[in-house]
Structure formats: C-alpha cells, structure tokens
Amino acid sequence: MRDGFLRVAAASPAVRVADVEANIDNILTVCKAAADDGAAMVVLPELCITGYTCGDLFHNATLLEAAARGLERLVNELDERLGLVFAGMPVMCDNTLYNCAVAVSRGCVYGAIPKTYLPAYNEFYEKRWFAPAPDSPRDVVIGQYETTMWARMIFDLEGVRVGAELCEDLWAPLPPSTELSLAGAELMVNLSASDDVIGKYAYLRDLVAQQSARCLGAYVYASAGFGESSTDLVFDAKLFIAENGRMLAENKRWTRGDQHVTADIDIEAVRRDRMHLRTFADCAARHRASGCIIKCVAHPAPADGLIRYVDAHPFVPSDAAHLSDRCEEILHIQTSGLCQRLAATHCRSLVIGISGGLDSTLALLVAVRAFDSMQIPRTGIVAVTMPGFGTTGRTYNNAMGLMRALGVTIREISIVPAVTQHFSDIGHDPAVHDVTYENSQARERTQLLMDIANQCGGMVLGTGDLSELALGWATYNGDHMSMYGVNSGVPKTLVQHLVRYTALAEACEADVSAYLLDIVDTPISPELIPADEHGNIKQKTEDLVGPYELHDFYLYYMLRYGFGPRRIYLLARKAFGEAYSDDTIKHWLRTFFRRFFAQQFKRSCLPDGPKVGSVTLSPRGDWRMPSDASAALWLAECDSL
C-alpha cells in the first residue's frame, strides 16, 4: 500500500473448457500483466482453473486431479510481486465438492472460500455438482497443500482486510460480503461467471456499485468471459472495481482474449467513512459480526503515480446530463428551503443586495423561483443595488438589466456619501485602501438592507456561498449576516454552473439569459477598490485568495474525508496535472488551511441556510469546530511538502 492506496486488478483470462494446463498458462499471463501495472492483488473469475461450464465433468476424477495440479503450478509460478490472488476452482472436502475461491500467492495457499448461495434455476443448476458453504471451518487438502475452507475468512494484505464471495452470493438478500464487511473487511472480491442476457449488464454494474456503497468499502468483481462454452449461454467478461458507490474501473465489453483492469483503492477514505458514519459501526455491533483473520505476504508498493481518476471539480458532475440534473435538484432544494422559511415567518417580502456578481444573481434567481412557486408577486422582492467606490459599469448594468428583466422591485442607493461621512467620523483617510476602507462599504450595504427589510416587513436574503464561508471571505457582520443564507451550501465552482444552467434553460427569456451569461463571464470581485483607468475591475478575488477551483478541491477532501495537507496535495497534483505547478498548489493549500482555521469565528454564528450536498459548514450541522483551534499541525504539514 502506498499513501493510503492499494492497487488491485480484476482479470478475466481466456479459458479452454476442461483444459487446466492452458487455463493456468493464461492465468499466469494475465497475472503478470497485472503485476506489471503494480497491482498487489488480482481477482480472477469463478472456476477459472477448469472453466465454469464443465457441467458433469466436475464429478470426473481426471478433471478434479488436474485442477489440484493446476493450483500447485499456479502457486509455484505466480509472479512474486503479487501479494494475493483469488482463483476459482472446485475443491473436494469430506467427499463433497465445493465451488471455491482459493487465496494464494507465490509459494502460499492461504485458504479456500466456498460459495454460500448456489443458483438452482435452469441455466445454472450448480446444486447438481456443488454443495453450499458449510457453517463451520473445515480442514482441506488441495494437492500438496493443507489449508482451511470457510466462507468467513478475512485476509490481511498489507494491513488491508479483504473478504471474498462468489457470483450468486452478491444477489442474495443478505450477501456474505455484507457480513464480512461488518466483521472488518474493507475490500470485497467476487469471483463470478455471469452470462449475458438483455438488461443484465446494467443491473449487475449498479449492483456492484451499490454493494460497495452499502458496505462502505471497495468491491472488485471478475467474471468469466472468452472461451466459456456457448452451448446454451454466452459469457462476456465483466470486470468492475468500485469504491463506495463509485465505479473506478471497468473493461471494454465484447473483447476476445485475456483482459484486466487496474485501479487504486483509497483505503484511507474507506476507513474515514467508517469512522465518521456511525451507522456502520452500530450495525456491526448489533450483528456481532466476526471472521478469522489470515495474514498474507507483504507486497512492494508501486513507485509510479496513481492509477485512478481524481476529479478536479468534485462538486461538479463531469457529464452534461448529470450536471443539468444536479443543477435542477440544487435549485429545488434552495427554493424549497426558502419557501418554507417564508411560510413559517408569514413573510411576503424579501430584500436582496444585487451587485451584478454570481452569488447575488443566484440568490435572486432562487427568490424568483420561490415567489413564483408560492404565487406571490415578484414585486415583493426588493432588489437593492448599492454602487460604491469600486462599482464598474459592467456589473452595474448587468444588475439593473437583470432586475428589470425579472420584474422585481428595484431600489438604487449609492453608498458613497454615507461611507465618505463615515470615514470622516472615524478619521479614516479615503485614499488608504485598507481593510477599514473595504469593510466600511460592506457594513454600510448590510445596514441599508436590514433597515429596508424593516421598512417593508421583509427579511434580508443572504448571498454568500460555501467557498466564501470556508475562506472567511466576508465582512464580519457585513455581507456575512442575513436572515437566511440561501447559498450557504453551494460552492463557488457550482454557483457559476447554476447561473449558466438557468441562462440556457428553455423557459429562460432571451434578455434574462443574456445578462446571466455575461455575469458568468465577469471576473469575481467584491468591487471595494476603485476600477482601473479604463473602468475595468481592478480587485479580483482569485488574485487575492487563490483560484476557487483549488480551494473547492481542498475543501471537499478536508470536509468529506478528513484528509490532511499531504494527502490533499497528492490528490491535487493528480487532479490538476499541468494546470498548476506544484509550488502553486502548495502555496494556495497553505493559504486555505491558514484562512480556514483563522476564520472559524465567522462560521460559528452563521444564519440558517439549506444544505445541498455532502459538504457543508453549518455550525449546527456538519461542521463543529472551536473558533480558537490552532492550525499549527496543518500548516507544519503544508511546510513539509
């Protein structure tokens, strides 16, 4: 295992039914290919040593003796780089034949796992040849090897707990993999021989992914393919590697010959989820699950990089259809939360500060959807634009145009006179563009919004997003405060997609769409510093705090998995490739942790707001942290990278 990842492979060698020598040749070949990829473990199909479709030949002594000799050859010739290999074969014990997954490495046979649930329908009548797994461990001799046969064995590979089941076991109401996971197995393997009929592939793929999610672990599935008998059925190799509901690797279907796929399982993420999600531990305790642990040989960790896709934008689905569905669902969650708050407070008026930026635009769009849903006239939305020292013509025109197009009530109040007077009152030189200069503007805007809300009997709708909350990029008791923070669960990288999704929706009017698209293309800025000589935005947020796509990446892996700087840096290098240099990733990673800890006090008194995803910073929900926690450990780890 390297950096908390275990590299595994699912393989399907070509078979010749009942030709054990040829099958061992192909098994050794595909195992070597997996070892060349750096795999520590290989999962092979059910009964791959003999072929799955041998039928009544399974009760022939010649085939069974050949299978035992084949296992001996496999153990003697297996690539030394492999720590654990699961191969399928028939195993005789006490005059009874079992369909087993045999766990081996070079020179070692660790155990035989018998199939628990045998199919008994027309095309698969395994009960004709095999018996189901016995209830207790049995001593068994396979060729020259004495070992244990039991369905509840768990193998320790470099500290990773591995359990095994076979084909039909996965389809049972309570699969053995569920019990083994509750007993401590973090990685489950399935040796299978699944035929192909219409619709089965998609169902099986979902089943594998869902079982990995239900077990809060990883699942490696290898099914028989090319070479199996086509007398009544067709077998297409199906290879899946899944982790907690996510498919990491799968093969190309309908390919002849040997196949294998390789992926890195994030064992650290699995362990963090099991620690954090107490339902898993409570279920394990209730069922008193147990299994015997068998230590396997160590495996040298691969020296190369991760064989794993790491999404640079974990909050944003990469598939366009899924992104549209995600955007619509988030908008529904935001709208529903706001509708409930309006109904509970008997409020028919909202006050929103509109800057012409992304966040206030999204809040306005959600407000419009909520009012339309509740059949309240949009004029009850009081949209206030408050030009200041740094407001540019582009953002001002977008704000005014969007408000007119949406039919809300518009109020325009310049904050320049009030802030100028405030500077005079407190003795601040307006030529000094420091934090006092900036925050005075933010607090003046919030005061105006609060007072207008009192005037119209409404409430102030907050516009700040999740990324700003993580970095503390808000003025305390300024834009930091509202009566309801509708964007508080939405990260910045997703805000722009929500606005763009609305702009491109079929029901969106052309003038509204044009303003929304230009807002998406406008640089992100608080506009608290005067524009340049050409009237363009001079103060760009990402120049000051760093790229939001990096910070959202850091935030996701810190909150979702509890990873520290070293692990996040490793993943970020993989995710962003050449988009950012290593020094850039490290620089902004340190900035993230420094600001995240220092700004907790702002999150400790956040307004209410809806949770929309798996990561949120509400002090009443997913994130509870003392405001005076020290960042020393995390910053030291950043400095050591």
pLDDT tens track for 298-332: 667 676 678 889 999 999 988 888 899 999 999 99
In a domain, 164, yes or no: yes
Is 329 annotated in the active site? no
Asked if the structure places residue 390 within a domain, the reply is: yes
In the predicted structure, residue 172 carries a pLDDT above the cut 90: yes
Instruction: Identify whether 226 is part of a domain.
Output: yes
Residue 151 within any structural domain of the chain: yes
- Whether residue 303 lies inside any domain: the answer is no
Domain-embedded: residue 313: no
What amino acid is encoded at 136 in this protein?
S
326 phi and psi angles, rounded to 5 deg: -65, -45
Indicate whether 126 pLDDT > 60.
yes
Same-domain pairing of 406 and 520: yes
Percent of the chain with pLDDT over 70: 97
Residue 412 and residue 538 share a domain: yes
Contact 97, 78 (CB under 8 A): no
Q: Are residues 267 and 340 in the same domain?
A: no
**Quick one: which of 559, 546, 584, 586 has its CA closest to 570?**
586
Q: What is the reported pLDDT for 196?
A: 84
The β-bridge relationship of strands 145-149 and 153-157 is unpaired
pLDDT at 13 over 90: yes
pLDDT of residue 122 exceeding 60: no
Residue of 44, 29, 38 lying closest to 86 (CA atoms): 44
User: Do 75 and 190 reside in the same domain of the chain?
Assistant: yes
CATH number at residue 328: 3.40.50.620
Q: Which domain range does residue 34 map to?
A: 5-295
User: 93 has which bridge partners?
Assistant: 96
Question: Is pLDDT of 215 > 60?
Answer: yes
Q: Is residue 312 part of a domain?
A: no
pLDDT bucket at 506, cuts 50 / 70 / 90: confident
Q: 99 and 195: one domain?
A: yes
Same domain, yes or no: 490 and 634: yes
Residues 324 and 286 in one domain: no
Q: Are residues 87 and 161 in the same domain?
A: yes
CA atoms of 612 and 357, how far apart (whole Å): 21
Same domain for 253 and 346: no
Q: What is the mean pLDDT of residues 130-155?
A: 93
Q: Are residues 160 and 208 in the same domain?
A: yes
Question: Does any domain span residue 314?
Answer: no
> 292-304 b/e with 16+ CB inside 10 Å = b?
eebebbebeebee
- Helix, strand counts (H, E) of the chain: 20, 22
Q: Which one-letter DSSP state was computed for residue 174?
A: S
Residue 527 has pLDDT above 80, yes or no: no
Active site residue 46: yes
| Annotated catalytic residue, options 48, 93, 100, 115 | 115
Which pLDDT score is estimated for 402? Answer: 96
> pLDDT tens for residues 336-372?
999 999 999 999 999 999 999 999 999 999 999 999 9
Last-in-domain residue among 295, 312, 339: 295
Task: List the structure tokens of 408.
Answer: 């809300």
**Residues 33-50: pLDDT tens digits?**
999 999 999 999 999 999
**The last residue of a domain, from among 295, 310, 339:** 295
Predicted confidence at residue 291, as pLDDT, reads: 67
The whole-number pLDDT of residue 630 equals 96
Co-location of 339 and 433 in the same domain: yes
Number of domains in the chain: 2
Alpha-carbon gap, residue 246 to 239, rounded angstroms: 14
Average pLDDT in the chain: 92
The Cα–Cα gap between 288 and 53 comes to 38
Could you tell me the CATH number of the domain that includes residue 240? 3.60.110.10
Q: What angle do CA 521, 467, 584 make, to 5 degrees?
A: 80
Residues 512 and 552 in one domain: yes
Is 586 among the residues known to form the active site? no
- Annotated active-site residue in 46, 165, 243, 637: 46
| Active-site residue identified among 93, 167, 215, 327 | 167
pTM for the model stands at: 0.88
